[in-house]
Structure 1
């Protein structure tokens, strides 16, 4: 374990009841615990993969692709859907995550979305009405979220009375906001998970930096 990972663990909100964070992917199994609505695998992308992604984004700044695929066909489906544009190291990384997600939830197929973003896709805090979603940012700023004990859910949606998140009373101070790191892989439990009504993780897209292009991937139940 490197120093950066240790520091991130020490600065994490592991003591918050609804989050489980670890530098091993086995942390994903904790999403089945009733009190957990976000499980985060802290990982660092290799310099080789990071360089290949930067080159890919430079050549494909508006890349967007949404497809359904299975663990058995993920490599072939990605190559076919993208005309082999994706770096091989990225394809292998995605294939690993698809296999993990399907194994964890006993799925035969998943919906994959891989998107290059130059602005915040979902700039306001919200919850998703789905069972669970895998989210990872391969490049750029990563997603933000609020711990259960730091959010007033009555201020979500129309409850904000037209006010920005920062002044609506949704949270008290900016330091309440937690943020994933580039490369982290998170499972976000939504409102449609059995027994998780009114407890879906509250999250949003981060603001993008000037001249920054994010590369975001999500996996969903088909």
Structure 2
């Protein structure tokens, strides 16, 4: 898959670290040293969304974890979700995203996790000590994050002294919190990216509304 480096990017608050665009080529902006997130904003088809919601409403546990390649990702998803109407569309979409991720980082395979969640997986703001992670929420509330200029990193982890994020001094008010939308595909640069050790993206799982279930996809380097 070719990546057009000339596509324009819209900048959100904290412009030096948050390029976003409706074009998938925006994901290549993660290579810019000043960026620790890049967001491809995209709508999902109403049909696929409805089918995913139907799957989630059944309430069955779903936690698919596998090393996949661009050649086998779509079929693997289809086989694992063969009982559901969303299997073909979701398999095709995930196969495309795996192909993009591998192309962008010159990878032969990736670690895939597709999970249905009914509670926050990582409810406190934190930094992942990995090079880079792809995240997308197909249904439900999506990932929240803070721009570098809006966070006091001394209040992460033990520095919060056990206090909740909104009380610890990590950020000065909740308007500083940015949130992705369902369907968005984002690359989150972590502390394991060479040269980004002190500026990994600060992010967390969203608080879910009553009876809400999310479908979250993550891809990681192997």
Q: What whole-Å deviation, never above 9, does each CA across 1:6-52 have from its counterpart, x for those lacking one?
A: xxx98x62552111111110000100000000000011111111111
- 2:24 maps to 1:32: no
Gaps of 5+ in 2: 1-8
* SS across alignment from 1:17: helix
Contact persistence 1:61–1:213 (CA under 8 A):
no
Q: What whole-Å deviation, never above 9, does each CA across 1:152-204 have from its counterpart, x for those lacking one?
A: 00100000111111010000000000000010010000000010011000000
The structural deviation recorded for 1:84 is 5.6
**1:59 aligned residue:** 58
Contact persistence 1:21–1:27 (CA under 8 A):
yes
Contact persistence 1:131–1:194 (CA under 8 A):
yes
The structural deviation recorded for 1:61 is 3.6
With the length of structure 1 as denominator, give the TM-score of the two structures.
0.91
Please list, as runs of the form range in 1=range in 2, the aligned pairs for 1:23-172 lying within 5 A after superposition.
23-82=22-81, 85=84, 87-172=87-172
With the length of structure 2 as denominator, give the TM-score of the two structures.
0.91
Gaps of 5+ in 1: 1-8
Q: How far apart, CA to CA, are the structure 2 residues paired with 1:42 and 1:82? A: 25
* SS across alignment from 2:70: coil
Q: How far apart, CA to CA, are the structure 2 residues paired with 1:60 and 1:103? A: 35
* SS across alignment from 1:126: coil
In structure 2, relative to structure 1, the CA distance for the partners of 1:60 and 1:93 (3 Å cut) is farther
Q: How far apart, CA to CA, are the structure 1 residues paired with 2:145 and 2:131? A: 17
Contact persistence 2:36–2:201 (CA under 8 A):
yes
The structural deviation recorded for 1:60 is 4.7
- 2:16 maps to 1:20: no
Contact persistence 1:141–1:208 (CA under 8 A):
yes
The number of equivalent residue pairs is 213
